[in-house]
């Protein structure tokens, strides 16, 4: 009986295998095209909300893929398209981000971006794909080409999401508010990749549960009473108060928060005063406040307010002005979906190259899609042993072999989610 069951299981497994297209062959067919796509995107990097050429290129490329239909809507500079399979099945969404960063490229690559743009502040800057969104677009586009080749057998529909303005945390909400998941487009799940320089090429990392942070922050005006630096007793020194407050923020994290509920408060900007011997009236601090869970997120503003008011009151200073804001929400990877995708990863790249990475304090507005339907963003290794690189740095030069790995993983997890 046992051997009969085993045989049956083998037959079923073989049948499932037979249904799955030869993705290795499809990757080989489109890898060269994908590298060309990545280079085009890299050379034409654009700032958030200004992805005009990138949008036109993506739209044109998608429209030329057999079976793909562009979806019109109030997407801003985003792009939405669908590829319907010949077999019935669920909608599976795949998101790629599209924007570059205000960074002047220093890679020396032949296809370096030469674009110069002006920021809202008036500062003139170079533009660069320094976060790998060029790679993400090449993966998404060519995964779509691969799936188009086998669309007659595809058991579901691919919803292609080209998200603009990820770097400023604006794209996902714009697309959701414009109804991307409405009118017969609500997906069973939403998937995405992000490249990572700390993960070696050939490896892939996942994290079930919260994996990116709530990205909040504040602007704090520390008020004092200005005067001569020689007679501090005749003033209330906001520089001294600001220093105490900065150390106080660190003590909130170290002494008031549960160590199992991670959070970070970093003051990234401090401004006040004009001259060494003049005590100013005011010092302005700007900080980022990050956490992984809602409870911690909600507890922090009150503790920060209590601290700054207490420190100001202790020397009779005017009450500080605290402007607290809630930014991008934490990204939660659906544990079940993660588990299902990890099985696919292990099969393709081997269990030794697939692992869990710790949650990080970076932000990603993919989180908003993943709050609507089960979502999972996994990390694709682009780390190179021959050079030290980081995302958001002018020297980011990803190994292009990562593109084929990304295409394979992407196509297979999308297919498996449709077939489940």
Burial of 234 (0-12, 13-18, 19+ CB in 10 A): exposed
15 contacts: CB under 8 Å, gap ≥ 6: none
Q: Are 360 and 209 in contact (CB under 8 A)?
A: no
In whole angstroms, the minimum distance from the beta carbon of 133 to Zn ion comes to 6
Among the listed ranges 10-18, 123-131, 180-188, 255-263, the one in contact with Zn ion (CB under 5 A) is: 123-131
Binding mask 77-116 toward Zn ion (x if CB under 5 A, else -) reads: ----------------------------------------
In whole angstroms, the minimum distance from the beta carbon of 36 to Zn ion comes to 22
In whole angstroms, the minimum distance from the beta carbon of 211 to Zn ion comes to 14
Tell me which residue has its CB nearest to Zn ion: 131
Nearer to Zn ion, 101 or 292 (CB): 101
Q: Are 162 and 168 in contact (CB under 8 A)?
A: no
Q: Are 279 and 224 in contact (CB under 8 A)?
A: yes
In whole angstroms, the minimum distance from the beta carbon of 237 to Zn ion comes to 38
Q: Count other Cβ atoms within 10 Å, centred on residue 340.
A: 17
Nearer to Zn ion, 38 or 151 (CB): 38
Pairing relation of β-strands 227-228 and 375-383?
A: unpaired
Q: Work out whether 409 is an interface residue with Zn ion (CB under 5 A).
A: no
- The DSSP call for residue 353 is G
Among the listed ranges 103-111, 128-136, 264-272, 323-331, the one in contact with Zn ion (CB under 5 A) is: 128-136
123 contacts: CB under 8 Å, gap ≥ 6: 102
Nearer to Zn ion, 91 or 98 (CB): 98
In whole angstroms, the minimum distance from the beta carbon of 212 to Zn ion comes to 11
- The DSSP call for residue 225 is B
Nearer to Zn ion, 135 or 143 (CB): 135
* Residue 227, phi then psi, degrees to nearest 5: 175, -165
Q: Which of 172, 262, 215 is nearest to 362 (CA)?
A: 215
Among the listed ranges 124-132, 177-185, 270-278, 296-304, the one in contact with Zn ion (CB under 5 A) is: 124-132
In whole angstroms, the minimum distance from the beta carbon of 135 to Zn ion comes to 10
H/E element holding 278? strand 278-279
Nearer to Zn ion, 131 or 380 (CB): 131
H/E element holding 202? none
Burial of 130 (0-12, 13-18, 19+ CB in 10 A): buried
Among the listed ranges 130-138, 185-193, 220-228, 354-362, the one in contact with Zn ion (CB under 5 A) is: 130-138
Q: Are 287 and 320 in contact (CB under 8 A)?
A: no
Q: Are 100 and 200 in contact (CB under 8 A)?
A: no
Nearer to Zn ion, 34 or 131 (CB): 131
Among residues 131, 175, 341, 418, which is the contact residue for Zn ion, using CB under 5 A?
131
Among the listed ranges 131-139, 172-180, 228-236, 312-320, the one in contact with Zn ion (CB under 5 A) is: 131-139
Nearer to Zn ion, 157 or 174 (CB): 174
User: How many residues interact with Zn ion (rule CB under 5 A)?
Assistant: 1
Residues that bind Zn ion (CB under 5 A): 131
């Amino acid at each position: 009986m046992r051997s009969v069951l085993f045989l049956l299981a083998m037959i079923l497994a073989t049948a499932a295998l037979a249904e799955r297209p030869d993705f290795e062959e499809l990757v080989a067919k489109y890898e060269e095209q994908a590298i060309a796509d990545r280079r085009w995107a890299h050379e034409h990097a654009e700032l958030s909300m200004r992805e005009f050429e990138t949008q036109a290129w993506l739209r044109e490329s998608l429209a030329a893929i057999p079976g793909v239909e562009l979806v019109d809507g109030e997407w801003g500079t985003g792009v939405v398209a669908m590829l319907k399979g010949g077999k019935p099945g669920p909608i599976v969404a795949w998101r790629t981000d599209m924007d570059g960063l205000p960074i002047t490229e220093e890679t020396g690559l032949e296809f370096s971006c030469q674009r110069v743009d002006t920021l809202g502040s008036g500062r003139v800057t170079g533009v660069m794909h320094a976060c790998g969104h060029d790679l993400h677009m090449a993966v998404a586009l060519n995964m779509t080409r691969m799936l188009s080749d086998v669309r007659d057998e595809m058991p579901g529909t691919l919803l292609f999401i080209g998200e603009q303005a990820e770097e400023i945390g604006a794209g996902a909400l714009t697309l959701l508010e414009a109804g991307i998941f409405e009118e017969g487009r609500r997906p069973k799940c939403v998937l995405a990749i992000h490249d990572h320089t700390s993960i070696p090429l050939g490896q892939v990392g996942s994290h079930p549960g919260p994996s990116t942070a709530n990205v909040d922050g504040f602007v704090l005006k520390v008020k004092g009473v200005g005067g001569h630096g020689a007679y501090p007793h005749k003033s209330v020194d906001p520089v001294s108060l600001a220093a105490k407050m900065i150390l106080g923020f660190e003590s909130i994290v170290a002494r008031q928060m549960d160590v199992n509920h991670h959070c970070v408060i970093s003051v990234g900007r401090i401004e006040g005063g004009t001259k060494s011997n003049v005590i100013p009236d005011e010092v302005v601090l700007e900080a980022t406040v990050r956490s992984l869970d809602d409870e911690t997120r909600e507890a922090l503003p009150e503790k920060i307010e209590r601290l700054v008011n207490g420190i100001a009151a202790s020397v009779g200073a005017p009450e500080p002005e605290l402007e607290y804001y809630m930014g991008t929400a934490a990204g939660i990877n659906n544990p079940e979906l993660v588990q299902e995708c990890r099985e696919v990863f292990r099969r393709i790249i081997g269990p030794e190259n697939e692992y869990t990475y710790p949650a990080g304090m970076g932000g990603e507005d993919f989180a908003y899609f993943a709050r609507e339907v089960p979502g999972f963003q996994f990390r694709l290794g682009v780390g190179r042993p021959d050079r030290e690189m980081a995302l958001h740095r002018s020297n980011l030069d990803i190994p292009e072999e990562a593109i084929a790995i990304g295409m394979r993983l992407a196509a297979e997890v999308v297919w498996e989610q449709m077939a489940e």
